[in-house]
Amino acid sequence: MRKGSVAIALLLSAIMAVAWGCVAAENSVLDGKAEAEISAASAAPEPSEAEYKYIAAGEYAGEYWPTAGWRTCRPEAVGMDSGRLEKALEYAADPAFKAEGLLVVKDGYIVAEAYLNGFKKNDRHVSNSMAKSFTSSLIGMAIDKGLIPGIDEPLCRYYEDWNCDDESDLRSKIKIRRLDPDNRP
């Protein structure tokens, strides 16, 4: 594989995952045992269907990287203020914003979560703006780490079946910048 191919493949996979929305709980890749272990690791109770928001409980248990699930902890355990988060959730709940959900993660821990305007935790959401921000961040990180030289790099360099030299193949003209709608010429 060419340099950066793995990074681009992961980037594209992440973009597609975000663009297709959140996966419902019934489609979870976790088995019951893994879900139980994750639940046990977190002292925070799940909010009821009637609740639209909550500030997480539980203690900070050290650094980790969320792979099978997210841990929760009190905002103060990671240097945040519960009162200010509560005000932010109330502000986001204003129907004029048409917000569907809000998730606050600090140091890998969920510290606050809200589902608004009739949406619930496992509902799918259209992720347009979130996908753009996520894509831009991943592209920037890949450039920063030297995995790709820049946004004007042809995407065909990372796909063996795409021929960069075949001008009749329109895919040869696609640049990385085209992955980010806000960065198009």
pLDDT tens sequence for the chain (185 residues): 344 444 444 444 444 333 333 332 333 333 343 334 334 433 344 544 444 567 888 888 888 877 788 899 999 999 999 999 999 988 988 889 888 888 899 988 999 999 988 888 888 888 777 777 888 888 889 899 999 899 999 989 888 888 899 989 898 889 988 876 665 55
What sign results for the dihedral spanned by CA atoms 139, 142, 144, 147? negative
Coil, strand, or helix at residue 137? Answer: helix
pLDDT of res. 4:
44
Locate all alpha helices (DSSP H) within the chain, ordered by sequence: 5-19, 32-41, 82-92, 128-144
Cα distances from 48 to residues 51, 58, 82, in angstroms, run: 5, 17, 19
Secondary element (H or E) of residue 141: helix 128-144
In a domain, 135, yes or no: yes
DSSP state of 154: B
Q: Are 49 and 117 part of one and the same domain?
A: yes
Residues 132 and 89 in one domain: no
User: Looking at the structure, do residues 82 and 141 belong to the same domain, yes or no?
Assistant: no
Indicate whether 112 and 133 sit together in one domain.
no
The predicted pLDDT at position 80 comes to 94
Do residues 76 and 118 both lie within one domain? yes
Query: Which of 123, 152, 174 lies at the terminal end of a domain, its last residue?
Result: 123
Q: Which of 71, 89, 123 is the last residue of a domain?
A: 123
Do residue 54 and residue 92 come from a single domain?
yes
Same domain, 51 and 117: yes
Rg of the chain taking only CA atoms, in angstroms: 20
Residue that has been written with the tokens 């355990």 in this structure: 77
Shared domain for 98 and 134, answered yes or no, is no
User: Is 77 in the same domain as 138?
Assistant: no
Neighbouring-strand partners of residue 109? 71, 106
Does any domain span residue 70? yes
Distances (CA, A) of 3 to 18, 93, 142, 158: 25, 45, 11, 8
Q: Is 132 inside a domain boundary?
A: yes
- According to the model, what pLDDT value does residue 112 have? 93
- Determine contact, residues 82/76, Cβ cutoff 8 Å: yes
Which residue range(s) make up the domain with 148? 5-11+127-183
Same domain for 48 and 118, yes or no, is yes
Give the pLDDT score at 21: 36
Domain boundary among 82, 108, 123: 123
- Both 48 and 112 in one domain: the answer is yes
Say how many domains are in the chain.
2
- My answer on whether 77 and 115 are in the same domain is yes
